[in-house]
Amino acid sequence: MKLQAFLPLVTYTDPNADAVAANAAAVAALIGADLNALAVNVTIPQVSNALSRFLLDVPDMIRQAEATSRGHGERLLAAVKAAGEAAQVTVATETVVETPPLLSATAALAARYHDIALIGWEEQNPTSRTTAESVVFGSGRPVVLLPETLDAAAFDHVAIAWDGSRVAARAAADARPFLARARRVSVLTVVDEKPLAAGDGERLAASLRRAGLEAEAVKLTGRNAAVARTLQEGALERGCGLLAMGGYGHSRVRDFVMGGATEGVLKALSIPVLLSH
């Protein structure tokens, strides 16, 4: 059974950068997955108002916005096809249209029909963050956030954020496609952030060693720094290319309530992160 990776492409209001195509293809190739790319383009309801038609020409503005969104979608899908061919990854592409309030929810629903979601994360692109939040909390699938600068070869060293919680355990399990191809695993535990649910990471590291992995438990001290920063810096200092962690939070009437670590990662990403909710 071949893994199916899902790539939602942001086209409105702030489109993804072209780098997402090569990054997603590289990760799909690494885990032996097919890549299924979806461009979610916008359709904007017409405004029935004489003032909007004759003074502001809103219908023309709407047509231009929709055409721009379609153009972004076509460009990104073409880039994914080219990147997939170069990486020898099977690529399937699809386009849907949706109204602005439902763009990210449409991506989350589509992600449910795949094994893992890959999302381009860009610091100056609020639409990519909205999409990431929606897919993390609404899809029921693990999500890998891909910064614009990515080295898939560095995924041979995977970090797992561990506090003994349910979501941390799920993240460790969801990371299996990457762990199966890793040479080393570092189990990272921030020991001064909160009481641990089930001790430090040595028990998980021992379990991974029994499974045949070279795994080490690492204790991190945050010294009052944000836990997301502590985990990402700890992973980078050890040469890890991917950090797997639980996504804390829930969605309530489309307003996302997140734990501090999840919020910190989505706000300031410095390493590819697998989030599992």
Q: Are 161 and 132 within one domain? A: no
**Alpha helices in the chain, H assignment, sequence order:** 19-31, 50-54, 58-87, 103-111, 126-138, 166-174, 176-179, 202-210, 227-237, 260-267
Q: What is the mean pLDDT of residues 85-99?
A: 98
pLDDT at 60: 83
Q: Decide if pLDDT at 223 tops 80.
A: no
| More confident call, 82 vs 123 | 82
Does the pLDDT at position 263 exceed 60? yes
Which among 99, 131, 147 is the end of a domain?
A: 147
| 243 shares a domain with 178 | yes
CATH code for the domain in which residue 58 is found: 3.40.50.12370
C-alpha–C-alpha distance, residues 178 and 185, integer Å? 10
Q: Residue 160 sits in a domain of what CATH number? A: 3.40.50.620
pLDDT at 55 over 70: no
Same domain, 158 and 30: no
Residues 60 and 25 in one domain: yes
| Distance of alpha carbon 276 from alpha carbon 222, whole angstroms | 22
* Same-domain pairing of 215 and 100: no
Indicate whether 60 and 108 sit together in one domain.
yes
**Does the pLDDT of residue 255 top 80, yes or no?**
no
**Structural domain harbouring 267:** 153-276
Among 51-60, 83-92, 133-142, name the one with the lowest average pLDDT: 51-60
- Given a cut of 60, whether residue 160 has pLDDT beyond it is yes
Burial readout 224-253 (b: 16 or more C-beta within 10 A, e: otherwise) = eebbbebbbebbeeeebbbbbbbbbbebee
Total count of domains within the chain: 2
* Rounded Cα gap, residues 228 and 245, in angstroms: 10
Are 89 and 157 contained in the same domain?
no
Residue after which a domain boundary falls, among 122, 147, 172: 147
Same domain, 24 and 126: yes
Instruction: Let me know whether 143 and 157 are in one domain.
Output: no
pLDDT band for position 107 (50/70/90)? very high
Alpha-carbon span 67 to 76, nearest angstrom: 14
pLDDT value at position 247?
85
Mean pLDDT of 199-218: 93
Instruction: Give residue 237's pLDDT.
Output: 96
Does residue 18 register a pLDDT over 70? yes
CA 170 to CA 139: how far, in whole Å? 14
Do both 233 and 116 map to the same domain?
no
104, 135: one domain: yes
pLDDT category of residue 257 using cuts at 50, 70 and 90: very low
Which residue, of 147, 173, 207, is where some domain finishes? 147
Is the pLDDT assigned to residue 256 strictly greater than 50? no
